[in-house]
Amino acid sequence: MTRTNWDVIVIGAGSAGENVADRAVQGGLSAVVIESELVGGECSYWACMPSKALLRSGLALRAAKSVGGAREAVTGELDVAAVFARRDKFTSNWNDDGQVSWLESAGIDLLRGRGRLTGKKAVRVTAADGTQLEITANHAVVVSTGSAALMPDVPGLAESRPWTSREATSAHSAPDSLLIIGGGVVGTEMATAYASFGTRVTLVTRGRLLGALEPFAGELVATGLEALGVTILSGVSPTRVRRSGDDAFVLDLDDGSEVSASELLVATGRTPVTGDIGLDSIGLTPGDWIQVDDTLRAPGFDWLYAVGDVTHRALLTHQGKYQARAAGDVIAARATGAPVRDEAWGAHVATADQAAVPQVTFTDPEVASVGLTAAAAEKAGHRIRVVDYELGQIAGASLHADRYRGRARMVVDESRQVMLGVTFVGPDVAELLHAATIAVVGEVPIDRLWHAVPAYPTMSEIWLRLLEEYGRPSA
């Protein structure tokens, strides 16, 4: 390709980058995306899709075992090789032809190589063979280079060459034993997957599990993991990592004990992929997350935008794509002089990043949450009331699985009588979440929710029980 100028340059063709380019093109602009690995990014090949594929079969098997009648028909074990083979289909065997075709059909140009800012609206693309191309943007450069696994500074850890989420999601067999450092989303999901495969899993966590969520989420997930045979070591941190003679990983812990396993997974959060993208050429600091306003534009620039993980706003695919839609549209609006809708909840801002981020943690039980936890709402100064209910008491839940165990919480803003946050924990609660997201985003008054009648006997009757606990509206 000899072309060197587009309206919009997007560095990084993950889910966020693809979407921002798509919206810009739909807004009448030309766009190119630069990708150094696979078009589709982390989510398609090393994160959401392969991790959920590794989890789904075990969850389905346990779901069948939890229903009398079906339970008796389950006579075999999980076919682990078939699970990995199914995962391979979801990643298209790490081939991005399908995503490249989509770019073509969307009218988005692709440059394969590493993108690096060289100044205002200017980017150098270095291809794998070393060839370089200097390109420029008429209107905007969007950074969507994502995040990578964070390796904590523990002596011996990096040198021991542990798994990160990339290796855990792309492995082709299950190790005999697995140590996991980190009790967040990756740690608990991968503990669930590998324990389902028969791997002896030990999870080391310095705090409680899923610490950013309601405390009962981590407690119920811990119970679920232990039922799968996972050993959870809480309140401890690794101080040193060694490889022993037989190739095992040995972890020294700060309580003086040591643990070992044949594989080690580090799941301690993410770091921005901004170390080598030329941020210094425009006065920003390499290695930092990129700060943006609610239109996803970097303060102090009229041409620099960032979307997705690299903004550190909400490290989730759906939120990155949401940001991308707003950013692509606002770039097109600003370029063409169309009105900019940058008021809260306007078309050109990512307001939900602050108020209503939905997330499902695909553990067993699942955790589905949106908006603020009770602790976060209090910290933000809201006058709240917390309503809890045991999901197992719902007729739909008891039909769904024998001895169904789970819990729901709604956090109500008492001054406005609207929901600030909702959390469900239990088998198959993921699909309950969107109703909660609509209630939080729509700021639906509690009184009106009484008229949203859940069908009997579904698990959605949890809404009726939460409202009953809260109380009928006064006359």
Ligand X SMILES: Cc1cc2nc3c(=O)[nH]c(=O)nc-3n(C[C@H](O)[C@H](O)[C@H](O)COP(=O)(O)OP(=O)(O)OC[C@H]3O[C@@H](n4cnc5c(N)ncnc54)[C@H](O)[C@@H]3O)c2cc1C
Q: Which of 350, 348, 351, 319 is nearest to 335 (CA)?
A: 348
Instruction: Report helix angle 215-227 to 185-196, nearest 10.
Output: 20
Q: Is residue 326 within 8 Å of residue 296, measured between CB atoms? A: yes
Tell whether 183 is in a known binding site: yes
Site track for ligand X across 234-273, x = CB under 6 A = ---------------------------------------x
**Contact residue for ligand X among 9, 25, 29, 42 (CB under 6 A):** 42
Residue number, 193 or 462, with CB nearest to ligand X: 193
- Cα torsion at 44, 50, 53, 55 (round to 10°)? -130
User: At CA 127, angle to CA 122 and CA 128, rounded to 5?
Assistant: 150
| Window of 213-221, 279-287, 357-365, 383-391 that interacts with ligand NAD by CB under 6 A | 357-365
Own/partner pairs, 352-355, CB within 8 angstroms, 24+ separation: 352/319, 352/322, 352/441, 353/294, 353/313, 353/314, 353/319, 353/322, 353/323, 355/440, 355/441
User: What six digits make up the tokens of 109?
Assistant: 């140009």
**Contact residue for ligand X among 316, 326, 374, 446 (CB under 6 A):** 316
**Contact residue for ligand X among 6, 31, 110, 115 (CB under 6 A):** 115
Q: Rg of the chain's alpha carbons, rounded to an integer? A: 24
Tell whether 184 is in a known binding site: yes
| Window of 9-17, 18-26, 179-187, 253-261 that interacts with ligand NAD by CB under 6 A | 179-187
Under the criterion CB under 6 A, does residue 206 sit at the interface with ligand NAD? yes
Instruction: Report helix angle 80-90 to 48-65, nearest 10.
Output: 140
Instruction: Report helix angle 48-65 to 185-196, nearest 10.
Output: 50
Q: Which does 114 bind (CB under 5 to 8 A by kind): ligand X, ligand NAD, none?
A: ligand X
**Contact residue for ligand NAD among 155, 198, 207, 473 (CB under 6 A):** 207
User: What six digits make up the tokens of 195?
Assistant: 């324990």
Whether cis (ω within 30° of 0) applies to the bond prior to 365 is: yes
**Contact residue for ligand NAD among 98, 119, 152, 155 (CB under 6 A):** 152
**Contact residue for ligand X among 109, 309, 364, 428 (CB under 6 A):** 309
Residue number, 338 or 430, with CB nearest to ligand NAD: 430
Number of H helices, E strands in the chain: 15, 21
Binding residues vs ligand X (CB under 6 A):
11-17, 34-37, 41-43, 47-48, 51-52, 114-115, 144-146, 165, 169, 186, 273, 277, 308-310, 315-318, 320
Residues making up the annotated binding site for NAD(+) are 182-189, 269
Binding residues: 52, 115, 145-147, 182-189, 269, 309
Query: Could you list the residues that contact ligand NAD (CB under 6 A)?
Result: 152, 181-187, 189, 205-207, 211, 237, 267-270, 315-316, 359-362
